[in-house]
Chains A and B, each alone.
Chain A
């Protein structure tokens, strides 16, 4: 370091700077009468008024959907005078465990999938719904299948809000009419149609897998749908619990059938690379370009939110259920869904759950569109358009209903190796290696990972 003489440094240059700088540090000094230990009035959790009864809710619903959720919950606030303090964040899966583990749990949480609940239940951190709700009330509200999905160790922990129907194929009826294509009713017909589209110079399948740190779920949904159709619901259930290992022939077959579509550059724009590079929400746009980039898109009902503005939904959008493969298993429907679970069964939280069991909130959100409810008492007329009504019918009339397997598997697999395995497979990795890697990551039940 250079040596400076102190005279140089002590010259006038530093004086004005010092004067300029001093206020920055001392700004607060004169004004601060007490130290900063006061609780800011803004910061209390909204419970500023002791007369208002409140219930805190943490959920993953944000954006436009949050307005719909608020509308669905508005009658509850009006009728009971209880204020719902809703906190919505896309970091839900990170934030909720932090809050719960540090003793700061919300009264009620709106889970995007039931799998997340299992661990809190195992730790005794959640309150069963049937502790304070009559069984009859529950069976009146939700079908047996759905209640079973929210039941752990014979106790019900969740009240459903939103259902997702995943086994749908979206297409553009205008394009189909123009090309003379017909809706396939079996898997073989669907593949024959795909080949015909290829022969006509088109690309049959829109496929987008990219979803940031959730990349992979589109692939696992496909594999699950095919599993249900090739191996049937019983084997599917064994697969979910790893009674049927990942490296077994049924799983291998499901992956292979998926690969015949996803890894085929003639079937998917850009082949595997294209599928992995396309954000899942952008893929459906291919149906509406001129000429269409693709003709078929297998995706859940929620993808309707991604249909570009300017598309005539009545004329240009239609769906059919993903067709059966093995006739004896029919047309099973793969579902997902959001559900409420209770951490603190305060009277206010109980009142909220009571309200959620009535058809009212479900009907309100249904009327706003882009929403399906598993609630029994929501009539088809509650949905605003024909397309949603058809989705509701598919949901209600399903021969077999199964929940998204990756949501039910331990998260190390369900949001980890199964996702990454599906992606590796699409990218061209060897199937046997992919499957044995997934199987190898299945946690030891002794370890206490659910």
Chain B
């Protein structure tokens, strides 16, 4: 190894140590300082020590830009002239946007439903087989693939060739071997949205499985044993014990996936470019913002995304109130 490379490795290690260690040191110093304070102020300041780093980071990186986005959503493309609600009117009347809303509902229902459902089934079933780590790793695998890689492989699944040419897409190869005409999976307007949604389900199920599996394993064995002794069958155990006991995790997983779906745009961009009625809200936002450079419309759509998640958050509040009441 040359000196230059050695220096690079050393400075990399130093960077990692400083970066990771620095924050830990900061916390302990702050905690130590608060401990020096008189007893009566301590309980009031202590939450601050625990929360300050998070609040500070979130405020600078997410809250302030969100407020700016909200502000810009009332201005024109170049953020120069106040246009009132024009951008919001556009967002709710433009034909492309309406299609995006329709598609997003389809995405939300299918991706959330199937990913969480499948993730839950896998989490329960995988608990009973010896090759559990392998099975989980395989289902988790898609999450580790960079998005660029994923787009290449799905091209090999959905590729279309005319009937007289060899198919390089797996699905069409199957369709043709069954004696049907090949389908333009990404072109045909009745299936192209489902084709994109399938990719998202493939990516998200691993996420759901990992979290739900951890929760399933948190259910005490004796509870299930007791139910078995009482004569409950597996389905009853699943419905009466497993699901209720991990319900808070199910809500968390579903919420996270809903948010991921609301934000998804790269699948759409890479596979279809949002054409032929495959746009979703987030892909429209990115396009308005960065391709068309219309800050007003882009910001308005971002605000709508933020508002869309309010009902989900209300569910969460309820959920956490319950959790605190029963623990």
- Chain A interface (Cβ < 8 Å from any Cβ of B): 1-2, 4, 25-29, 31-32, 34-38, 40-42, 93-94, 97, 119, 123, 210-216, 269-270, 272-274, 276-279, 293, 411-412, 415-416, 419-420, 423-424, 427, 437, 443, 447-449
Whether the Cβ atoms of B223 and A2 lie closer than 8 Å is: yes
With beta carbons under 8 angstroms apart, the residue of B18, B189, B323 that contacts A38 is: B18
Whether the Cβ atoms of A28 and B270 lie closer than 8 Å is: no
Whether the Cβ atoms of A216 and B21 lie closer than 8 Å is: no
Whether the Cβ atoms of A213 and B21 lie closer than 8 Å is: no
Whether the Cβ atoms of A29 and B24 lie closer than 8 Å is: yes
CA gap between A94 and B286 in the complex, in Å: 10
CA gap between A32 and B293 in the complex, in Å: 44
**Residues in B whose Cβ lies below 8 Å from that of A32:** 17-18, 21-22, 24-25
Give chain B interface residues in 4-27, CB to chain A under 8 Å: 8, 11-12, 15, 17-26
Known: A37-B22, A293-B165, A448-B77. A412 touches B294 (CB 8 A): yes
Between-chain CB contacts (< 8 Å), 8 pairs? A32-B25, A38-B18, A41-B11, A213-B270, A279-B155, A427-B187, A447-B78, A448-B76
B56 to chain A, nearest CB (A): 14
CA gap between A293 and B166 in the complex, in Å: 11
**Residues in A whose Cβ lies below 8 Å from that of B159:** 277
A222 to chain B, nearest CB (A): 16
**Residues in B whose Cβ lies below 8 Å from that of A2:** 219-220, 223, 245
A123 to chain B, nearest CB (A): 8
Select from chain A the residue with minimum beta-carbon distance to B23: A36
Whether the Cβ atoms of B161 and A31 lie closer than 8 Å is: no
Q: Does B107 lie at the interface of the complex (its beta carbon under 8 Å from any beta carbon of A)?
A: no
CA gap between A269 and B162 in the complex, in Å: 6
CA gap between A443 and B76 in the complex, in Å: 11
Whether the Cβ atoms of B161 and A40 lie closer than 8 Å is: no
With beta carbons under 8 angstroms apart, the residue of A31, A93, A212, A447 that contacts B273 is: A212
With beta carbons under 8 angstroms apart, the residue of A26, A29, A276 that contacts B187 is: A276
Whether the Cβ atoms of B17 and A31 lie closer than 8 Å is: yes
Q: Does B274 lie at the interface of the complex (its beta carbon under 8 Å from any beta carbon of A)?
A: yes
With beta carbons under 8 angstroms apart, the residue of B162, B271, B292 that contacts A416 is: B292
Given contacts A272-B187, A448-B78, 12 further A-B contacts (CB under 8 A): A2-B245, A34-B22, A36-B21, A36-B22, A40-B11, A210-B186, A215-B273, A276-B276, A424-B276, A427-B189, A449-B78, A449-B293
Q: Does B290 lie at the interface of the complex (its beta carbon under 8 Å from any beta carbon of A)?
A: yes
B270 to chain A, nearest CB (A): 5
**Residues in A whose Cβ lies below 8 Å from that of B294:** 412, 449
B221 to chain A, nearest CB (A): 12
Whether the Cβ atoms of A34 and B18 lie closer than 8 Å is: yes
**Residues in B whose Cβ lies below 8 Å from that of A1:** 245, 248, 323, 326-327
CA gap between A123 and B248 in the complex, in Å: 51
Q: Does B188 lie at the interface of the complex (its beta carbon under 8 Å from any beta carbon of A)?
A: yes
Whether the Cβ atoms of B245 and A427 lie closer than 8 Å is: no
Interface string of B154-172 (1 = CB under 8 A from A): 0100011111010000000
Select from chain A the residue with minimum beta-carbon distance to B165: A293
Interface string of B125-162 (1 = CB under 8 A from A): 00000000000000000000000000100010001111
**Residues in A whose Cβ lies below 8 Å from that of B155:** 279
Whether the Cβ atoms of B25 and A97 lie closer than 8 Å is: no
Give chain B interface residues in 91-110, CB to chain A under 8 Å: 95
Nearest 5 A/B pairs, CB to CB: A28-B21, A32-B21, A36-B22, A277-B160, A270-B162
Q: Does B64 lie at the interface of the complex (its beta carbon under 8 Å from any beta carbon of A)?
A: no
Known: A293-B165, A427-B187. A97 touches B290 (CB 8 A): yes
Whether the Cβ atoms of B273 and A213 lie closer than 8 Å is: yes
Whether the Cβ atoms of B275 and A28 lie closer than 8 Å is: no
Whether the Cβ atoms of B22 and A35 lie closer than 8 Å is: yes
A207 to chain B, nearest CB (A): 12
Whether the Cβ atoms of A94 and B23 lie closer than 8 Å is: no
Whether the Cβ atoms of A274 and B160 lie closer than 8 Å is: yes
Q: Does B36 lie at the interface of the complex (its beta carbon under 8 Å from any beta carbon of A)?
A: no
Select from chain A the residue with minimum beta-carbon distance to B12: A42
B39 to chain A, nearest CB (A): 26
Interface string of B174-207 (1 = CB under 8 A from A): 0000000000101111000000000000000000
Select from chain A the residue with minimum beta-carbon distance to B218: A2
Q: Does B68 lie at the interface of the complex (its beta carbon under 8 Å from any beta carbon of A)?
A: no
Select from chain A the residue with minimum beta-carbon distance to B288: A412
Whether the Cβ atoms of B291 and A36 lie closer than 8 Å is: no
Q: Does B239 lie at the interface of the complex (its beta carbon under 8 Å from any beta carbon of A)?
A: no
Select from chain B the residue with minimum beta-carbon distance to A426: B187
**Residues in A whose Cβ lies below 8 Å from that of B81:** 448
CA gap between A210 and B272 in the complex, in Å: 8
Known: A94-B290, A97-B290, A423-B276. A213 touches B24 (CB 8 A): no
**Residues in B whose Cβ lies below 8 Å from that of A97:** 290, 293
Whether the Cβ atoms of B275 and A212 lie closer than 8 Å is: no
A27 to chain B, nearest CB (A): 7
Whether the Cβ atoms of A423 and B291 lie closer than 8 Å is: no
CA gap between A424 and B165 in the complex, in Å: 25
**Residues in A whose Cβ lies below 8 Å from that of B70:** none
CA gap between A423 and B187 in the complex, in Å: 10
Whether the Cβ atoms of B95 and A119 lie closer than 8 Å is: no
Select from chain A the residue with minimum beta-carbon distance to B188: A273
Give chain B interface residues in 280-308, CB to chain A under 8 Å: 287, 290-294
Whether the Cβ atoms of B292 and A35 lie closer than 8 Å is: no
With beta carbons under 8 angstroms apart, the residue of B17, B161, B293 that contacts A28 is: B17
